Amino acid sequence: MDLYEHDAKRIFSKYGIPVPAGDLVTDARQAGEIAAKLGHVAIKAQVLAGGRGKAGGILTAATPQEAVQKAERIMGMSIKGLTVKKLLVEEYKKPEKEMYIGITIDRKARSPVFIAATEGGVDIEEIAKSSPEKIFRTHINPLTGIHDYQVRSVAYLLGRADSASISNLVRKLYMIFTDHDCMLAEINPLVRTSGAFYALDAKMVIDDNSLFRQEFAQEEEDELSALAKQHGMSYVGLDGDIGCMVNGAGLAMATLDMIEQHGGRPANFMDVRAGADEEQIRTALQIVSANKNVKVIIINIFGGLTRCDEVARAIAGREIKIPLVIRLAGTHEEEGRKILSDHGISMAMSTQEVARRAVELGHTH
Amino acid sequence: MGILINKNTRVLVQGITGHEGSFHTAQMKEFGTDVAGGVTPGKGGSEVFGIPVFDSVKEAVEEVDPDATVVFVPPRFTADAIFEAIDSEIELIVCITEGVPVHDMMRICAYLEGSSSRLIGPNCPGITTPGGSKAGIMPNPIHLPGNIGLVSRSGTLTYEIIDLLSKGGLGQSTSVGIGGDPIIGTSFVEILNLFEEDPATHAVVLVGEIGGTAEQDAIDFIEAMSKPVIAYVVGVSAPPGKTMGHAGAIVSKGGGTAREKIQAFESAGIMVGNSPEDIVNKLKNIVII
């Protein structure tokens, strides 16, 4: 899960990484009160999307009146489909120098990698492509943590004169990264202003698998994904009209691909996960059919721990009117088939067939 | 033959008394796996289907000397279970558990280096050598002994492919699910290497997904192999920035799309199937059964 800038900054601040003084507001008028205290301020849209500056979601204001005007302009605007409901109003820091530091996970090396660049405030992936020589990388052994020599090499790169303060920031960022099970912990830009360093922006992405030991409230963008997650399932809304309910992420992706191969458009991705029971299948059907675009629903189960008879019972007892195309295979397949045929429901024999039949059915409805 | 496990492999089950652990222990036994023992801390001295349960892996090693262990322990305790298996020098560790934190996996993988253990998974369906042994959760009836090696990042999709291969008369030497997480114990290349050296394997099916570059990383090795490899990559329709079920299955700004992977295979001259049926058909043309 991604953290909002203001949440990440609160964590940075707790660890002693300096961030500009500021506060979160939900009402544009409050921006004036904060500006009255802080003077020149930056007003920043709090949405979980990149490119906020380009979209006009970050503005500065010299007076409280201007702060209110600018805050009104940003509040409620849409950035990459997300409505701005919260603003971070903080002391404006004029950067003398902008840099980048961040830690992410290198899947191939199976370890954290510390990344630093002498340029900041821009997209680090862009720099990586256009001028890779400007980017410094060092892999960290997860059993030992970051070594002093690695810390020094980052500090010397970013500013010999300030190496003590930079080393301090590097160590703290690594502590944040490990303490919070981060997939990414990033300061972009890290700025130097009047001899001091500040994290002007803060980004943290937390590993969803770690949430049993991390105290972050999960915030889903949409209700259906949130509902699915509550029930241990995974749902991603798409823009087609064929609803999908599949066990297993790979099989679910294969099902979507085959729908497109047959000329159809999937309405969603859904992995009901292994071991789904009757109750869970019923909930999954409700979630998939809640999307008003859905004309037909595919149920594609290859049961290991999931039992076909339980799935069949949930289908037989359904209340929705949307036509279903079903394929059940694996554990208790025969029992499942019998329950469905007793209810006059036929079954496809493969993912290929279920996709083809759903696309045909979608065209006739 | 086949790779990693055979009928003589003695299997331990960590988390044997849990819901999934006990269900799949029964399934493995039915398949013909020699399940030698189980571990659940605090339940030592009891039995599951006549199989002795121990409090620790160390005790199990002393009493029943397993060659492999299958881990069903919940995510909160998975890392500890794997460290315990590594310290007990169990050669093969198969981790079925889904939802292991990535930071735990980085520490485990660093710890594995220099150890005598190999880890398959996590978040995987395990290994099946038809006619020999099963260490994992693949459904029993779908397999057929034969000469096709299968290596996959998926779970249920793997079952569908195995099922179609078997129905098409193409038996398998061994099927291996390496897991759908961003960080896993054993890569495509390591499994391909075992298949290349296995005389019972004549051709290999590789099933990939969106996210990361594990598929591209295997290309150089595949090009140098003497056996034909056919690849299948799912997630062509996946939108960027959304996690498609598996923690590892996400198209990010850095790449990892299904199209990139398919193009990389094709431009290296590696055969690509566009559906499980297509894989079976293409295989039938190249393999002499």
ipTM reported for the complex, 2 dp? 0.92
Angular region, A201: left φ>0, alpha ψ -120 to 50, beta rest: beta
Mean pLDDT of A332-352: 89
Q: Is B83 an interface residue toward A (CB < 8 Å)?
A: no
pLDDT of residue A331: 82
Spatial distance between the Cα atoms of B33 and B70, rounded to a whole number of angstroms: 12
Burial zone of A129 (CB within 10 Å; 0-12 exposed, 13-18 middle, 19+ buried):
exposed
Residues B277 and B151 in one domain: yes
Spatial distance between the Cα atoms of A191 and A162, rounded to a whole number of angstroms: 12
Mean of all residue pLDDT scores within chain A? 92
Which among A190, A286, A275, A197 has a CA at the least distance from the CA of A245? A286
Sorted by sequence, the CB contacts under 8 Å of residue B205 that are 6+ apart come out as B148, B149, B150, B151, B152, B161, B165, B229, B230, B231, B232, B279, B283
Mutate to test the interface with A, among B160, B252, B274 (most CBs of A within 10 A): B160
Assigned architecture for domain A223-364 = 3-Layer(aba) Sandwich (3.40)
Residues B153 and B253 in one domain: yes
CA distance to A232, B110, B232, B258, B274, per residue, from A260 (Å): 27, 41, 16, 14, 12
Residues B58 and B173 in one domain: no
Would you give the end-to-end CA distance of chain B in angstroms?
Answer: 16
Which tens digits make up the pLDDT trace of A130-150?
A: 888 889 999 999 999 999 999
Residues B276 and B154 in one domain: yes
The residue whose two tokens read 């192999």 is B225
Task: Determine the residue of chain A that is closest to B152 in CA distance.
Answer: A250
Nearest to A105 among B182, B239, B244 (CB): B182
Assigned architecture for domain A97-210 = 2-Layer Sandwich (3.30)
Strand partners, A113: A104, A139
Which tens digits make up the pLDDT trace of A302-325?
A: 987 788 998 999 888 887 789 999
What is the spatial order of strands in the sheet that B34-39 belongs to? B47-48, B51-54, B34-39, B10-14, B68-71, B92-95, B118-120
Q: Is A61 an interface residue toward B (CB < 8 Å)?
A: no
Q: Is A110 an interface residue toward B (CB < 8 Å)?
A: yes
Burial zone of A302 (CB within 10 Å; 0-12 exposed, 13-18 middle, 19+ buried):
buried
Query: How close does chain B come to A40, measured CA to CA in Å?
Result: 34
Residues B102 and B210 in one domain: no
Q: Does residue B235 sit within a domain?
A: yes
Q: Is A232 an interface residue toward B (CB < 8 Å)?
A: no
Question: Final residue of a domain: which of B77, B93, B120?
Answer: B120
Which tens digits make up the pLDDT trace of A237-273?
A: 999 999 999 999 999 999 999 999 999 999 999 999 7
Q: Is B26 an interface residue toward A (CB < 8 Å)?
A: no
Residues B182 and B282 in one domain: yes
Residue B24 among the catalytic residues: no
Q: Does residue B126 sit within a domain?
A: no
Q: Does residue B1 sit within a domain?
A: no
Residues B101 and B142 in one domain: no
Mean pLDDT of B269-284: 95
The CATH homologous superfamily to which domain A21-91 belongs is ATP-grasp fold, A domain (3.30.1490.20)
pLDDT of residue A364: 66
Which tens digits make up the pLDDT trace of A189-244?
A: 999 998 899 999 999 999 999 999 998 876 656 788 888 988 889 999 999 999 99
Q: Would you call B75 and A212 a contact, using CB atoms and an 8 Å cutoff?
A: yes
Interface subset of B 175-194, CB within 8 angstroms of A:
180, 182-183
Q: Is B244 an interface residue toward A (CB < 8 Å)?
A: yes
Q: Does residue B83 sit within a domain?
A: yes
Residues B64 and B96 in one domain: yes
Q: Would you call B159 and A178 a contact, using CB atoms and an 8 Å cutoff?
A: no
Task: Determine the residue of chain A that is closest to B207 in CA distance.
Answer: A250
Which tens digits make up the pLDDT trace of A58-84?
A: 999 999 999 999 999 999 999 988 899
Q: Would you call A249 and B164 a contact, using CB atoms and an 8 Å cutoff?
A: no
Interface subset of A 271-290, CB within 8 angstroms of B:
271, 273-275
Residues B161 and B259 in one domain: yes
- Domain of B49 in residue numbering reads as 10-120
CATH of the domain at B48: 3.40.50.720
Which tens digits make up the pLDDT trace of B127-157?
A: 999 999 999 999 999 999 999 999 999 989 9
pLDDT of residue A365: 59
Structural domain total, chain B: 2
Nearest to A260 among B99, B236, B276 (CB): B236
For chain A, domain boundaries: 21-91, 97-210, 223-364
Q: Does residue B49 sit within a domain?
A: yes
Residues B239 and B208 in one domain: yes
Residues B108 and B146 in one domain: no
Mean pLDDT of B97-121: 97
Burial zone of B173 (CB within 10 Å; 0-12 exposed, 13-18 middle, 19+ buried):
buried
Which tens digits make up the pLDDT trace of B158-208?
A: 999 999 999 999 999 999 999 999 999 999 999 999 999 999 999 999 999
